[in-house]
Structure 1
Amino acid sequence: MSTHRFKAMGCEVVVGGASERDSAAVTRLFEALESALSRFRPTSELERLNASSAETVIVSPLLASALDDALRAAAATDGVCDPTIADALRAAGYDRSFEQIDTPAAAPPVPAGRWREVALSGLLVRRPPGLRLDLNGVVKGRAVDDALALVEGSGFVSAGGDLATRGELVVALPGDDTVTLRAGALATSGVSSRAWRRDDGATAHHLIDSVTGAPSTSPWECVTVCASTCLAADVAAKTAFLLGDEGPAWLERRGLAGRFLTHDGETVLAAGWPTTAAEIACT
């Protein structure tokens, strides 16, 4: 299967089985999303919204759709996945793209949990001025789903730890394991590739506990979830990670297969994740 690779959203994107035309369309999709929704681009529409002093702002359909995804994720997870963590991320040192982070200064955490103060009606966004939003919790997963829809026939799209496929695919997992994905999507959320050391010697990462505003102290190194869409898998993986010890039970209640990897390399499986390098399908 032919593959097309490019950089976007701070990771390598791989498109498999696509024609040259389809690959170009996928590249344009990721570029458009990053240009409009990046927290690290002062000219992005998201950052213009964050900087606006108006209580109500008219936004583009693209931003409205992403914000709708984020608010739905917050409601479905009771605020565990929270789009109002932008200031908490900045306080943790994640104020620029990951490859540019050096040794940020320590700063007090900024509790979030304010997603209920954000209202979306069509293209109108209403929130308290000064409440900054971060949509990274949903944008990449939705991008993978939308990108796969641009690929005709069998193929796959992978972006960092997010992947969706139309056709059987062997997927490498953290901890030197594999699984054969026959349908659906996988998403992995964890701290092994998105962590840094602050000037006070503390290690920080991008997975924020919205209650404390500090990087999560979850016992997991990473969590991988299988779902029918990459967006659903991504939200579930983040939520299961942030819920810590309660993560496996949370997935079990929702019938979502998950694989948890501890910092010591041990695995915990949930909701029918195969015990060996076997097949799994998410529909």
Structure 2
Amino acid sequence: MRSLRLHAWTTRIHVVMTDDDVLPAVQQITEAFVQDVDLVASRFREDSELAALNRAARRDDVDADLSPLLRACLKAALRTAELTDGLVTPTVGRALVAAGYDRDIDQIDQPAGTAGAFVPDYQRISLRGRGIRMPQGFQLDLGASAKAWAADVLAADLADRLRGGFLVNLGGDIAVAGHAPRADWQIGVEAADGRVVQTISTRHQAFATSSTQVRSWHTDHGPAHHIIDPRTGQPAEPVWVQVTCAGASAVEANAASTAAIVLAHEAPEWLAQRGIPALLIAQDGRRVHTPRWAPERSAA
């Protein structure tokens, strides 16, 4: 097997393939896709389609056509909101800026931050045909779902266009497609410091890890991170250092793992009631898993 490692969207990108000969094509497809998604969906690029949409919403209600790529990304964001009953929503743009996340994470240096901001109801966004309707004042951020959606799309595209099997890891959001290796895909659940806390084996399942430590910063009001609780408009209470979930797709797995961060102490019960396999790691290092999580094979 061969692998491709890139760095984009201020995160690590890792693509593993079972056929050595397809590496050049994988690199070309992956780099082009990453650039295309960044150009339409980045909140930090002034020339992105999403930035233009947010600027328009500051002035008036929005009724605009979307590119197919941004529409698909937004559709995944709204699907994530539906799966989590609004706990994970793309309407947190203003709250993220208020918390100090107003530029790429590697450019943040002691931002001021505020006490929070109102998070509007995602159900007031309407995708119809090629367009979007959105009330004035809405500010979108797709960071909670875009990587997972991109992992699903890229893995499926690689498997459709090239021979072999593929594992796509976009900053902890993992999708697989095509023919799995004989020994299945071996996925290491990594802590924020890079330690592998458990290795899991899969043929078809996707996985996602959400963390309160990777995209975090200090503000005048104390530490902050990028996962907003829409009920308060503030970064979620950091009960969990990270949560890893399995799902039929990376979008589904990521919806669950991010919602678990938002739910804090209520997360284990919420996940278990929905039959979601999950591993939660608390601030003190304690590990909690739901009944359907795979037995531990190896740990650091």
Q: What's the TM-score bracket when you normalise by the shorter of the two chains? A: over 0.9
Matches within 5 A, 1:135-150: 135-149=142-156, 150=158
Q: Which residue of 2 aligns with 1:154?
A: 165
- Greater Cα offset, 66-75 or 34-43: 66-75
Q: Given that residues 5 and 15 in structure 1 are in contact (C-alpha distance below 8 angstroms), is that contact kept between their aligned partners in structure 2?
A: yes
- Greater Cα offset, 258-267 or 148-157: 148-157
Q: Which residue type is aligned with residue 137 of structure 1?
A: A
Matches within 5 A, 1:13-162: 13-17=13-17, 18-52=22-56, 53-55=59-61, 56-149=63-156, 150-151=158-159, 152-162=163-173
Q: What TM-score results when the alignment is normalised by the length of structure 2? A: 0.88
- Greater Cα offset, 169-178 or 240-249: 169-178
Matched, 1:263 2:283: yes
In the TM superposition, residue 189 of structure 1 has moved relative to its aligned partner by: 0.3
Q: Structure 2 CA distance, aligned partners of 1:106 and 1:164?
A: 34
SS of 1:137 mapped into structure 2 = coil
In the TM superposition, residue 245 of structure 1 has moved relative to its aligned partner by: 1.8
Q: Structure 2 CA distance, aligned partners of 1:113 and 1:54?
A: 15
In the TM superposition, residue 14 of structure 1 has moved relative to its aligned partner by: 0.9
Q: Which residue of 2 aligns with 1:253?
A: 273
Q: Given that residues 7 and 13 in structure 2 are in contact (C-alpha distance below 8 angstroms), is that contact kept between their aligned partners in structure 1?
A: yes
Q: Which residue type is aligned with residue 109 of structure 1?
A: G
Q: Which residue type is aligned with residue 207 of structure 2?
A: L
1:199-222, Cα deviation, whole Å (9 max, x unpaired): x25000001110111111141111
In the TM superposition, residue 54 of structure 1 has moved relative to its aligned partner by: 4.6
| Pairs aligned (count) | 277
Structure 2, unmatched stretches of 5+, are none
Q: Structure 1 CA distance, aligned partners of 2:254 and 2:201?
A: 16
Q: Structure 2 CA distance, aligned partners of 1:61 and 1:263?
A: 41
In the TM superposition, residue 178 of structure 1 has moved relative to its aligned partner by: 1.9
Q: Which residue of 1 aligns with 2:239?
A: 219
Q: Given that residues 116 and 232 in structure 2 are in contact (C-alpha distance below 8 angstroms), is that contact kept between their aligned partners in structure 1?
A: yes
Q: Structure 1 CA distance, aligned partners of 2:129 and 2:273?
A: 32
Q: Which residue of 2 aligns with 1:235?
A: 255
- Greater Cα offset, 206-215 or 154-163: 154-163
- Greater Cα offset, 109-118 or 29-38: 109-118
Q: Which residue type is aligned with residue 117 of structure 1?
A: R
Q: Structure 2 CA distance, aligned partners of 1:218 and 1:203?
A: 10
Matched, 1:172 2:179: no
